[in-house]
Structure 1
Amino acid sequence: LGNTFGALFIGVVFAAILFGLSNIQAFFYFQTHNGTGISFPKLAVCWTLDALHLFLIVHCVYYYLVAHYADFNALTEIVWSFKVMMFLLVRSLYFHRIWIVGKGRSRVLLMAVYSLAIRSADIASRYQCHVFSDLVKIEWATFMALGTITFVDFVIASSLCYLLATSRTGFSSTDSIITKLMAYIINTGCLTSVCSLSAMITCAVMPHNFIFLGVEFLVAKLYVNSFFAL
């Protein structure tokens, strides 16, 4: 069980840590921005989706390791919470924030539509799976989704850096803040990209265990952290 449900358990532990970090981010964001930046309803929606995602993955692991411990028939079946992941909506919020920063540029919309389409195809394929052995049959969908996510993450980071670079004011204090923001966004974008790339590599190298799924748990959480960091 170490590299299967044990990997999922470790993924949930780290996801819970990132959820705690997003709570701190949300609190400080609400305290410091005071009506500017992300509106309170969007902040609440993003936090709710993040909490719902954590509930789903915790339920998934609880189902296999506690409720149906040593039930080998249940261990081969895919529980409903495994299929219902709120990854798409969290990503939509992230793209929406970039759309606002980019003043509604059409390239952002095209990138968002393409990414959501690929991820939708991946989710639709997973909904057709009823046992874990079926996941091996849809490796192509997982590779396409993770590959697209990795590429889009790099595009997002570079796009935001470009938008911030063109927003320089000429005042040294303001430009220094923008430079720091650019560095932070590069690090954030690279972190999500590395996480997505790690999930894709582990899926390719070890398709018969759940290590790549545990890594995927973290990708959604990192997007929420990135959203609050914008």
Structure 2
Amino acid sequence: MSWKDIPLPPGFSRGLTVGAIEIGNDVGLFLMGIVAAQVFSYYRQFSRDPFYIRLGVAFVFVFDLVHTVLLSKVIYFYTIVGPCDPLALDHIDRNLSISIPFLGLVALIVQTMYCLRVLRITESTILALGCWSLALARFSMHLYSTYLAFVAKSLHTAITWKRFHGGLLASLACGTAADIAICVCITVGLWSRKTGFERTDKLVDKVIAWTIGTGFLPTVIGIVEIITYEIMPKNFIWMGLWWTMSKFLSISLMTSLHQRTAYSKNGTDFSMALGASSGGTSNFATGLRFPVDKSHEVSGIRMELSTVTKSELRDPERDSFHYKPEGVMSIGYEDESRIGAAV
């Protein structure tokens, strides 16, 4: 008897179940490679970032890697063991259940970093805590869904069980709501801090576009997950999307951390660090060092930016650095390393 002759639970399609999660796993493996490259690049370029930010990036990478390994073992179970055992196709593999909290941990760390950025930009503890409460609720629902997955054991039971359906839907909704809230808060906060200087305002517009762009994919994936899970619970299209969610969150964070390189190439004096200042900063473009105003030595996430002209940047005769900003503003990262380049 071939695997095609093996009966499936009522309402299940092999192509829309095993096929969907296998495609999701393949896409996830590809995205994991991108995450690994971004993390490697980050540690090479930004080794002077505060320890807790570098540690956070390490945790995100490790948790995402564990999540990927567990889901690859799930694929092995359903594609190798499953065809030989009809009952296995309706069984929730324990690796699938264990992978849920690792996705929750990745999401919690990434969204916590963004919430710190919300705090620095908006200077509103209420908004930051509001966004973080949604992130924390998401993680709590991931833990609850993990418990229900171990209890249910059967895919058919889990899908038809209202508690499991409600718990999983709540985790998806909280995560999407957190992504949207963070993006809106950062965007509005940046918009309200425009200085009236043309170059600075253009840069703010670029940062807003980056903010929307980096948060767009996780938000869209979350919305599509909710829709597909709600209208098509008996196929695993939503699970194939869920397979990739942690990767999109990791890529979003790493892209955000790499923004300072992009802006320095555009000719902007771009200060972006993610922790306490050390009393002096390194200029990435020139290798020079100059003192930091002690008033900027605050914890959390803050970024300062300004634009300079070519003539203001360096005096070849005296080999000195002249800094005459058109405007200075905070856009969510603390001053640790100043990047100078010509406009």
Match of 1:129 in 2: 152
SS of equivalent residue, structure 2 residue 83:
coil
Share of identical aligned residues, percent?
23
Is residue 95–residue 108 contact of structure 1 (8 Å, CA) maintained in 2?
no
Q: Partners in 1 of 2:42 and 2:229 — Cα distance? A: 36
When normalised by structure 1's length, the TM-score is 0.88
Considering only CA atoms, is the larger Rg found in Structure 1 or Structure 2? 2
When normalised by structure 2's length, the TM-score is 0.61
Q: What is the CA deviation profile of residues 74-115 of structure 1, one whole-angstrom value per residue up to 9, with x for unaligned ones? A: 221111110112112111211221233224824323332344
Aligned residue identity for 1:88: G
1:79 counterpart = 2:120: no
| Offset of residue 145 of structure 1 | 2.0
Structure 1 residue runs of 5 or longer lacking an equivalent are none
Match of 1:35 in 2: 48
Select which of 201, 207, 220 maps to 1:194: 220
Q: What is the CA deviation profile of residues 136-166 of structure 1, one whole-angstrom value per residue up to 9, with x for unaligned ones? A: 2122222222222222211111122234445
Match of 2:131 in 1: 111
Q: What is the CA deviation profile of residues 14-38 of structure 1, one whole-angstrom value per residue up to 9, with x for unaligned ones? A: 1111111112221222233331367
- Larger CA deviation: 133-142 vs 25-34: 25-34
Q: Name the one with the larger strand percent.
A: 2
RMSD over equivalenced CA pairs, Å:
2.3
Is residue 176–residue 219 contact of structure 2 (8 Å, CA) maintained in 1?
yes
Q: Partners in 1 of 2:109 and 2:79 — Cα distance? A: 32
| Offset of residue 211 of structure 1 | 1.1
Match of 1:64 in 2: 78
- Larger CA deviation: 83-92 vs 32-41: 32-41
- The answer to which structure, 1 or 2, has the higher relative contact order (CA under 8 A, 6+ apart) is 1
Q: Name the one with the larger helix percent.
A: 1
| Offset of residue 46 of structure 1 | 1.2
Structure 2 residue runs of 5 or longer lacking an equivalent are 1-13, 257-343
Match of 1:16 in 2: 29
Q: Partners in 2 of 1:34 and 1:165 — Cα distance? A: 30
| Offset of residue 133 of structure 1 | 0.7
User: Mapping of 1:181-220 within 5 angstroms?
Assistant: 181-220=207-246
- Larger CA deviation: 83-92 vs 144-153: 144-153
SS of equivalent residue, structure 1 residue 39:
helix
| Offset of residue 12 of structure 1 | 0.4
Is residue 88–residue 116 contact of structure 1 (8 Å, CA) maintained in 2?
no
Q: Partners in 1 of 2:204 and 2:148 — Cα distance? A: 42
Select which of 76, 90, 93 maps to 2:106: 90
Match of 1:5 in 2: 18
